Amino acid sequence: MTDAPLTPEDDDDALAGEYVLGVLDMADRSAVEARMKADAVFAARVTAWERRLSPLDDETPEAAAPDLMPQIEARIFGKERRPRHWLAWISLGLSGAIAAGLIFAVVFMVPPTPQVVAVLATKDAGLSYRLTQVGEQLTVTRVAGTPAPAGQVHQLWIIAPGASPVSLGLLGDEALVVDYPKPPAGWMFAVSVEPEGGSPSGLPTGPVILAAPVTSDT
């Protein structure tokens, strides 16, 4: 269903009403105010709208303002009439999108807290490594002591019950980051002293100076 074409007078009346209602953007308001100075007839339409919407004396019956929404919709969307609830659907859709964005930010943008899975340290805590897990990533950081002497290196091992040690990497001044899921409780971490470049055999060849079990999942 379509409305009859708007006459220039209807269009001017709708524009005057929009100006008085304050729904125009700054550019359109400036254009209307400039036209009011040059077009006395249009200025009179604005004045008429101001009078309709201003507080009236109790003795004077209030003039009923015409329904401007069809004309406003026609100015915005063209001649085809949109259902009134069309704007409500847009509003609800935008609200839902904003809410979804906020949920996404809370769930996916807040970084997870690293979980300590083991601490390997000497009895006097002169040398200590802390192992933390975030998802499928294990990070090993030296928190006390110094690296192995020149020509040697500290090597990290993971040991499953009843299995041979498996190397997870060499420990130097920088933190070691390994893509490795958290092993279950009962597995062991160990650090041995190996020749520079790591164990030549794939198993610990030097003294094991640190060892600690994986912390419990509870």
Summarised one tens digit per residue, pLDDT across range 132-153 is 888 888 898 888 888 888 899 9
What confidence tens digit (pLDDT) does each residue in 27-40 have? Answer: 899 998 999 898 88
Calpha distance 184→146 (Å, rounded): 29
pLDDT of residue 78: 57
Q: Does domain 115-213 have CATH number 2.40.10?
A: no
pLDDT higher for 92 or 67? Answer: 67
Locate the domains of the chain by residue range.
8-79, 115-213
Using left for φ > 0, alpha for ψ between -120 and 50, and beta otherwise, residue 198 falls in left
Give the number of other CB atoms < 10 A from CB of residue 110.
Answer: 8
pLDDT of residue 51: 84
pLDDT of residue 73: 59
pLDDT of residue 84: 47
Question: The tokens 């009895």 sit on which residue?
Answer: 123
Maximum Cα interatomic distance, the chain, rounded to a whole number of Å: 106
Residue type, 82: R
What confidence tens digit (pLDDT) does each residue in 163-213 have? Answer: 888 898 899 888 889 888 888 888 988 999 999 888 988 899 888 988 888
pLDDT higher for 96 or 12? Answer: 12
SS3 content of the chain, % helix, strand, coil (to 5): 35, 25, 40
3-state secondary structure of 204: coil
Could you tell me the CA-to-CA distances from 41 to 20, 37, 54 in Å, in that order?
A: 16, 10, 20
Average pLDDT value for the chain: 78
What confidence tens digit (pLDDT) does each residue in 97-123 have? Answer: 666 666 655 555 667 788 888 888 888
Phi, psi (rounded to 5 degrees) for 112: -70, 155
Calpha distance 48→36 (Å, rounded): 13
Asked if 196 and 179 touch (Cβ cutoff 8 Å), the reply is no
Calpha distance 75→93 (Å, rounded): 23
What integer is the mean pLDDT of 38-45?
Answer: 88
Output DSSP code: residue 2: B
pLDDT of residue 154: 92
What percent of the chain lies above the pLDDT cut of 70?
Answer: 71
